Amino acid sequence: MPFNSASAVLGLSSDELKDRITKIFPLIDTDGDGVLSRDEIVEWLRRINEKVTQRQTRLEYDAIDKDSDGRVTLAEVRESYYGENQHEDDEAMADVKKRFEVADKDQDYVLSLVEFEALMHPSKDEDLMKLELDEILNAQDKDYDRKISWEEFRSDQDEDVKVLEDEFRQYDRDGDQYIDEDDIRALLDDQGPETVEKDADELIADTFGPEASSISLTSLLEKLDAVVQSRLTDYGELLRFPAEYDLTVSFDEPIIQHDEL
């Protein structure tokens, strides 16, 4: 998308975007040396991802809580995700109930916001992560050695062999020809260190070139279009709604709130 189009969509002029990026730069540059290192970008993306997850979880939690009593029940979860079909799939309902009960740490039969976030993101809770691990292994680990071989992976799948081979190599991070528990954990952890590091490497390579090792403010402003539409600014949302990311920065213009749109 051309930069002018991005500027129009965000409701901010080019000068305003430059000003806001200039003001958030020191928040990313934590050692204050005037350039952004890979490690600083990784930590920034981790922070932004966490805020995005929290915001999305809050919105979904409120949407599911139909009676607005600040609690989410099993019935509300079933109704939200399955609606009228919840009475037609006993296996799916049993699966939802099992996960709900694992997430319900205080066993009060309702989920708090924290418990609901764990339900939506099992990597945040060891019990839910173990449940996911066990179900994946039970489905594909035919010889019960707690890892999935290529033959086990490809069995009962109709996809093209080349596609399956590519997927297997992607999941088998250490190349030992098995998908083990660590590989599965990394796959399930959408906010884990490896995922964030990969996102940072892709952002740097795509925006500044594969040889870039540190990025100055000048470089950011020169690549303004790409930066505004990247994970570094949560695709521009961070520049529009900085308060929602708990940023300690003050823009000259009034801060926009989502409920003011």
| Bridge partners of residue 111, in order along the sequence | 72
Examine the pLDDT at 98 and tell me if it is beyond 80.
yes
- Section 246-254 average pLDDT: 70
Total tally of structural domains belonging to the chain: 2
The answer to whether residue 93 sits within a structural domain is: no
The answer to whether residue 23 sits within a structural domain is: yes
**Of 136, 166, 188, which closes a domain?**
188
33 and 52 share a domain? yes
- Section 186-195 average pLDDT: 79
139 and 178 share a domain? yes
pTM, 2 dp? 0.78
- State the pLDDT at residue 50: 92
197 and 183 share a domain? no
- State the pLDDT at residue 92: 87
Examine the pLDDT at 261 and tell me if it is beyond 80.
no
Which pLDDT tens digit goes with each residue over 104-134?
999 999 999 999 999 999 999 999 999 999 9
Tell me which long-range contacts 15-22 makes (C-beta under 8 A, separation of at least 24): 16/253, 17/224, 17/228, 17/239, 18/221, 18/224, 19/251, 19/252, 20/239, 20/242, 20/251, 21/217, 21/220, 21/221, 21/224, 21/227, 21/228, 21/233, 21/239, 22/217, 22/221
The answer to whether residue 153 sits within a structural domain is: yes
Examine the pLDDT at 158 and tell me if it is beyond 90.
no
The answer to whether residue 102 sits within a structural domain is: no
Which pLDDT tens digit goes with each residue over 46-97?
999 999 999 999 999 999 999 999 999 999 999 998 887 777 778 889 999 9
**Of 170, 188, 206, which closes a domain?**
188
Residue 191 pLDDT grade (very low, low, confident, very high; cuts 50, 70, 90): low
Rounded CA-CA distance 214/219 in Å is 10
Q: Which domain holds residue 143?
A: 123-188
Rounded CA-CA distance 68/55 in Å is 17
Examine the pLDDT at 10 and tell me if it is beyond 90.
no
Residue 3 pLDDT grade (very low, low, confident, very high; cuts 50, 70, 90): very low
172 and 132 share a domain? yes
The answer to whether residue 165 sits within a structural domain is: yes
- State the pLDDT at residue 11: 85
- State the pLDDT at residue 5: 59
- State the pLDDT at residue 51: 92
Question: Which residues 6+ apart lie within 8 Å of 103 measured at CB?
Answer: 111, 115, 116, 118, 119, 125, 128
- State the pLDDT at residue 251: 73
161 and 198 share a domain? no
The answer to whether residue 200 sits within a structural domain is: yes
